[in-house]
Amino acid sequence: MKNYLPLITSICLASCSTDSEVKPAEIKPATANFEMPESNEASIATVFQNKSLAAKRYAWSFGDGSTSTDENPTHTYTRTGQYLVKLKAFGERNDSITKSITILPYKIFTHSSTRIGGVYSCKIVTFVKPPGSPLSIHRLADKDITITEQAPDKVLWDSNTLIYSSSSSTSRQLPGGPYHTFGAPTDIRRKTVLAFFYTSGDSAVFLIDELPGHGSIQTYYHGKRRP
C-alpha cells in the first residue's frame, strides 16, 4: 500500500503558501487639500500649494469663472471681493475641498516707488450737457489742486474727497506712460471723482462727473505737479 501522506502534505503547503501571499489590491482614496493666503490683492498673482494625497489629476475652480488642471497653479484676480476656491482631486476615489479667499484693492504705493502727493497746477475745462440741450464747453480759471496720500490705496483729493485705488488700471498704457486710476463712490448728490495719475512726467488728470437731473456736467482738471 502506497503512502500518499507526503504528497498530500506538500499540496496543502503549496496551497496554503499561495493563499497567504495573494492579497487584495489596496484602494487609496484621494484626499484633496491645498494651502493659499487668506487674502491677496487684485492684480497680484496668488499661489496655490497642492497638499492632496493619492491623487492622479486635479481640477481647480477659482470662483471668478477661471479654472485650471495644474497641480500647483497660480491665479490673478482682477476684481476685489471674496471668492470660493474649489479643488477636486481624482484618484481611486475622488475628493474635493473648498476654501475662501478675500481679494483686496491693489496697494499702489506698496508696489511702486511713484509718489503722487503734492500740489498740481491745473487747467480746467467743463463739459455741460443739460437735458434736451446741446453740449457746451467752458474754459475755467486755472486752479491748484492738492493731493495727499492717506494709505497704500487711498488719496485725498483737494483736501476734501477720499478716493481709492482701482486695481484694474495697473496694466493699462497710454502714450504718456502707464497710469493708475483712483475713484470714489457716488455720493447723495450723484457726483463721482476719478483721477488718472501718470507714472511719468508728474502729470495728472482729475475728472469730476456730476449728474444733475438727467443731464451731466464733467469737469476735467489737467494738472502738472509742482517741483
Which one, of 91, 3, 103, lies nearest residue 44 by Cα?
103
CATH 2.40.160 fits 109-225, yes or no: yes
Kindly calculate the radius of gyration of the chain based on its CA atoms and give it in whole angstroms.
33
Asked if the domains at 25-104 and 109-225 fall in one CATH topology, the answer is no
pLDDT at 212: 65
pLDDT at 91: 92
pLDDT at 85: 98
Neighbours of 151 (CB within 10 A): 14
> pLDDT of 145-158, one tens digit each?
888 888 777 778 77
pLDDT at 115: 72
pLDDT at 185: 61
Q: Please give the model's pTM, rounded to 2 decimal places.
A: 0.59
Pick out the chain residues at pLDDT < 70. Answer: 1-27, 112-114, 164-181, 184-193, 198-201, 212-214
Residue type, position 219, single letter: T
CB burial of 127-150 (b: ≥16 within 10 Å; e: otherwise) equals ebeeeeeeeeeeeeeeeebebeee
* Per-domain boundaries in the chain: 25-104, 109-225
User: Which of the listed CATH numbers 2.40.50.140, 2.60.40.10, 2.60.40.1120, 3.40.50.2300 matches domain 25-104?
Assistant: 2.60.40.10
> pLDDT of 55-87, one tens digit each?
999 999 999 999 999 999 999 998 889 999 999
